[in-house]
Amino acid sequence: MGKIISIINNKGGVGKTSSTGILAELLAFTGCRVLCVDLDQQSNLSMLFNCYVKDPVPVLNWRERPEEENITELFRYRYRSREEIEPLIKPTFVKNLYMIPSSKRHQKTPDQIIAEKLSNNNTILKKSLATIRDGYDYILIDNAPASDILTVNSIFASDYVLTPVRIDGFSYKGLEETLDTITYIKDEHDVDSVSFLGTFVTQAERNTVLYRDLKESYTDELGGKFFQTSIRKDIRVSEIETIFKPILDYAPNTNAVYDYTRLILEMNILPEDKKKVLAYAIGEREDM
Ligand SMILES: Nc1ncnc2c1ncn2[C@@H]1O[C@H](COP(=O)(O)OP(=O)(O)OP(=O)(O)O)[C@@H](O)[C@H]1O
Ligand SMILES: [Mg+2]
């Protein structure tokens, strides 16, 4: 059964989407079947994997049904069955990597969920993913920079929460809020199934004093939940977001690919045979 990981930090621009995309690509590279779920109406992950379809105005306003359904309809109609959910899943240009895209019309989803006054608002995504998770090794959920009903759905649906941070005080605040939300959900709803996988630094400038100081504080604060692997600032990460190519095709030897590969190894979420594939790819093993 697939492991479900939410990538969350309610601070914007910390690298949630880039991390989701590259981690998904690397997991798919090892031969795992991976599903990305875009929960953000900004739809950056859908764009990254070329699965974005722009909404005409009547669709944006929910006055007309779209030609292609996406994450919006999964929430709107509370899809549970395989027949309803499978048409939302799109193949991407990366082998083994699939996605449920988002689009602008998804911006109405949170208000709509609350306005319907139905019960079980927090577990809509969990119930949908439960139907299809057998078909994947990993399901990665990219979240908007928010702490709303969609984020809560994401946490409820997940086995793990992963939080990228940048080296600044505001990102740390986002991390604290994410941890508080998880604790609140666990306490309030008696959910034991989700745990905090950890946090890591993105867009790191490793030679600065600020980086070294804050890395030390994070390690003191979080212990083993603070990954020692950071993701270096790397222009190739921004470039793939404008040319829409897989990073492993465009720049397989770039720093970010090396760093995210090390991060997956440090997170220790893969079975041994898949770990060997990654360790071999970055020269940490001489054979597979
Ligand atoms: N390692 C990196 N090196 C250089 N630029 C990066 C790196 N990681 C992310 N970026 C850039 O930083 C910007 C923000 O990244 P990203 O969109 O992944 O953040 P986000 O947390 O998903 O933002 P939002 O909260 O708005 O969804 C993007 O322009 C992205 O290209
Ligand atoms: Mg994003």
CB 264, CB 22: distance < 8 Å: no
Which residues are bridge partners to 139 per DSSP?
Answer: 4, 35
In a domain, 106, yes or no: yes
In a domain, 112, yes or no: yes
Could you tell me the two tokens for 147? Answer: 């702490």
Sequence-ordered list of residues with C-beta below 8 angstroms from that of 20, at least 6 positions apart, any chain? 7, 36, 45, 140, 141, 142
pLDDT at 176: 84
Q: Collapsing DSSP states into helix, strand and coil, what is residue 266?
A: helix
Q: Ligand 1 test: best mutation among 20, 238, 255, most atoms within 8 Å of CB? A: 238
pLDDT at 188: 80
In a domain, 29, yes or no: yes
Alpha helices, DSSP H, located in the chain = 16-29, 44-48, 57-60, 71-76, 82-85, 109-115, 124-132, 149-157, 169-189, 209-222, 235-243, 247-250, 255-267, 272-281
* Nearest ligand for residue 22 CA: 1
Q: Measuring CA to CA, how many Å separate 28 from each of 32, 37, 137, 189?
A: 5, 15, 9, 33
* Nearest ligand for residue 174 CA: 1
In a domain, 131, yes or no: yes
In a domain, 288, yes or no: no
- 285 alpha carbon to ligand 2 midpoint, in Å? 33
Alpha helices, DSSP H, located in 116-254 = 124-132, 149-157, 169-189, 209-222, 235-243, 247-250
**DSSP letter at 238?**
H
- pTM, full prediction: 0.96
Binned average pLDDT, 10 residues per bin, the chain of 288 residues: 93 95 98 98 96 96 96 97 98 97 98 87 96 97 94 94 87 80 82 90 93 89 93 96 91 96 97 94 84
CA 104 to chain centre: 18
- 272 alpha carbon to ligand 2 midpoint, in Å? 31
Question: In angstroms, rounded to a whole number, what is the distance separating the alpha carbons of residues 165 and 7?
Answer: 11
Taking the CA of residue 21 as reference, the ligand 1 atom at the shortest distance is 18
Ligand 1 shell residues, CB under 6 Å: 12-18, 40, 42, 44, 145, 202-203, 231, 233-234, 237-238, 241, 256
Taking the CA of residue 9 as reference, the ligand 1 atom at the shortest distance is 21
CB 288, CB 280: distance < 8 Å: yes
pLDDT at 244: 87
pLDDT at 169: 67
Closest-CA residue, ligand 1 atom 30, reads: 238
In a domain, 40, yes or no: yes
In a domain, 286, yes or no: no
Q: 97 is in which domain, residue-wise? A: 3-281
CATH of the domain at 173: 3.40.50.300
**Number of folded domains that form the chain:** 1
In a domain, 214, yes or no: yes
- 100 alpha carbon to ligand 1 midpoint, in Å? 20
* Nearest ligand for residue 146 CA: 1
